[in-house]
Chain A
Amino acid sequence: AQSVTQPDIHITVSEGASLELRCNYSYGATPYLFWYVQSPGQGLQLLLKYFSGDTLVQGIKGFEAEFKRSQSSFNLRKPSVHWSDAAEYFCAVALNSGGYQKVTFGTGTKLQVIP
């Protein structure tokens, strides 16, 4: 069964600093990988996704993520964080096997941005 781990429950960064949120997955083949963001009182919004091809993917709001097969990781990065980036971030992994699809979400990382 697939699993996804976000090791950091809570991260605090200063506005303007760089950000990296970690995501590790466990799955035999190359999975489908997603990052979502959830602002308080809202649903989840897709930031970016990886299916195949270029391992560095660009998303919305200036985010990017890199797929590293050797490390089973899909870390989310942003060069310069803005106060509006304060939110909770979820990594998700999906498998597609014989027409059966299953998506598993990580437990989330809450990002606090300080002035």
Chain B
Amino acid sequence: ETGVTQTPRHLVMGMTNKKSLKCEQHLGHNAMYWYKQSAKKPLELMFVYNFKEQTENNSVPSRFSPECPNSSHLFLHLHTLQPEDSALYLCASSQNLAGPIVYEQYFGPGTRLTVT
């Protein structure tokens, strides 16, 4: 595998289910991100991790719970979601968030989530 992979690619879940999204990067990066992409809305940054430490949480509801066990893996645990949470969830990685240079982000293909 190369680049950034995400599983599953599609997920349908009921509002009472618990599921997890997985992201893995094979680029040797140290920063990882979760984004939410809804139709007709800007890309929303949800969480940022740098060297496994969470550096940003953009007022995301607690029904979304991120986990970053190491710099290569990122999870998004989902619980008691609402229909409005249906969206494309994108994972991205970049070299790191420290230092003077802003590195570009590399994106996975996303998980299309539908909450019924």
Q: Give Cα A105 to B41, complex, Å.
A: 11
Cross-chain contact B106 with A46 (CB below 8 angstroms):
yes
Which residues 59-116 in B have Cβ within 8 Å of A in the complex? 90, 92, 97-102, 104-110, 112
Cross-chain contact B90 with A103 (CB below 8 angstroms):
no
List residues of chain B with CB within 8 A of the CB of A94: 102
Q: With contacts A41-B109, A42-B109, A46-B106 known, is A105 near B98, CB below 8 A? A: no
Interface size class of B (residues with CB under 8 A): 20 to 34
Query: Secondary structure of the B side of the interface?
Result: loop
Cross-chain contact A106 with B42 (CB below 8 angstroms):
yes
A-B contact number at CB 8 A: 47
* A interface list, Cβ under 8 A from B: 32, 34, 36, 41-46, 49, 51, 90, 94-96, 99, 101, 103, 105-108
Beyond A34-B104, A45-B107, A96-B100: 20 further Cβ-contacts under 8 Å? A41-B112, A43-B4, A43-B6, A43-B90, A43-B92, A43-B108, A43-B109, A43-B110, A46-B105, A46-B106, A51-B102, A90-B43, A94-B102, A103-B45, A103-B102, A103-B105, A105-B43, A107-B41, A107-B42, A108-B42
Can you list 19 residue pairs at the A/B interface with Cβ under 8 Å?
A34-B104, A41-B109, A42-B109, A43-B107, A43-B108, A44-B90, A46-B104, A46-B105, A49-B104, A51-B102, A90-B43, A96-B101, A96-B102, A103-B105, A105-B43, A106-B42, A107-B41, A108-B42, A108-B43
